[in-house]
Amino acid sequence: MKIRWEKSFTTGIKEIDDQHKEIVLLMGKCLNLDKLGKSEIRQLMKRAEKHFVRHFETEEKIMKQYCYFHLRAHTAQHKKFKKELNDLREILESEGASLRFSMLVGLVMSEWLTDHFRKEDGDFSVFILKRKGSAEVLNN
């Protein structure tokens, strides 16, 4: 399975788009695990987790700053994804890079990309950009 950056992922908020681009690169690697050993996969998953945690913190900080009304629901989705990553790590530890593990990684990553990136992050970015626009008008 291949994933690459698509225009439809663009939110218009540079900090978020830059982080999403890094995440898409990492996801692409996570979807092609067949040539990697267990320790390389472990390292890759750790790296992906670190990026996700940092990214979620960035989004949550911006959402708070602009009083986004779906902050709680959005944060709950981030929490759910962190739990899924944690579950994947546990599966990797217990059964190694099994076929089930690779399939679950693919499922979690692609679901996340199509549902959350496009829909939830898209909605919240539109809200922030509108708020920013009104703030600029008020400040001038």
26 near Fe ion, judged by CB under 5 A = no
Pair of tokens at residue 50: 């670190």
Site for Fe ion in 87-126 (CB under 5 A): 121
Nearer to Fe ion by Cβ, of 40 and 115: the residue is 115
Asked if 105 and 33 count as a contact pair (C-beta separation under 8 A), the reply is yes
Query: Rg (Cα) of the chain, in Å, rounded?
Result: 17
Say how many residues touch Fe ion, by CB under 5 A: 2
Q: What is the smallest separation between the CB atom of 104 and Fe ion, expressed in angstroms?
A: 21
Contacting Fe ion within 34-73 (CB under 5 A): 59
Q: Are 24 and 48 in contact (CB under 8 A)?
A: no
Binding residues for Fe ion (CB under 5 A) = 59, 121
